[in-house]
Amino acid sequence: MEEYAILAGDFSAIGEASTKFKATLKMLGIPSDLVRRASVIAYEAEMNALIHGGGGVLRMTVYDDRLEIVARDEGPGIPDVSLAMQEGYSTATDEIRELGFGAGMGLPNIDRNADSLLIETEIDKGTTLLATVIFPSP
């Protein structure tokens, strides 16, 4: 298990945790397509936790048959999860958009790369995302 803090306002550091996850997965000998899927999930989740959640925690746990990525923030929560899951829907600021993100693709991207995705969110309390990637049986 690996866990990293996502610090509020530190846009340039986004992706550092995902990079470390990726290195760990490669070291464990996980197939490259699964590593890539997990990396995209972690990166998008890291980005979301910073942009919308004001920072939080990113955790990855590798089991024999799957890996789980959990991103937790104590931000404002998501009022309508099904709306947030729609491609193109975004509440990101112009500042974030100018950097090439906030196009409303984050959650759909995570969903596309995960075998299962669970989002628990409460207004003014925060959001926890759990994405699972299942390893194909040998």
Could you tell me the smallest distance in angstroms from the CB atom of residue 12 to other proteins? 5
Q: Which residues bind other proteins (CB under 8 A)?
A: 11-12, 14-15, 18-19, 22, 32-33, 36, 39-40, 43-44, 99-106, 108-109, 112
**For other proteins, the closer CB: 95 or 122:** 95
Could you tell me the smallest distance in angstroms from the CB atom of residue 79 to other proteins? 21
Single out the residue of 29, 49, 30, 51 nearest to residue 41, CA to CA.
49
Instruction: Provide the residue type at 33 as one letter.
Output: D
The answer to whether 125 and 78 are in contact (CB under 8 A) is: no
Could you tell me the smallest distance in angstroms from the CB atom of residue 94 to other proteins? 14
**For other proteins, the closer CB: 86 or 123:** 86
**For other proteins, the closer CB: 64 or 88:** 88
Handedness of CA 107, 88, 32, 11 (dihedral sign): negative
Query: Residue 63 and residue 34: Cα distance in Å, rounded?
Result: 14
**For other proteins, the closer CB: 111 or 120:** 111
Could you tell me the smallest distance in angstroms from the CB atom of residue 15 to other proteins? 4
Alpha-carbon separation of residue 39 from 23, 44, 59, 88, 133 (angstroms): 10, 9, 12, 21, 11
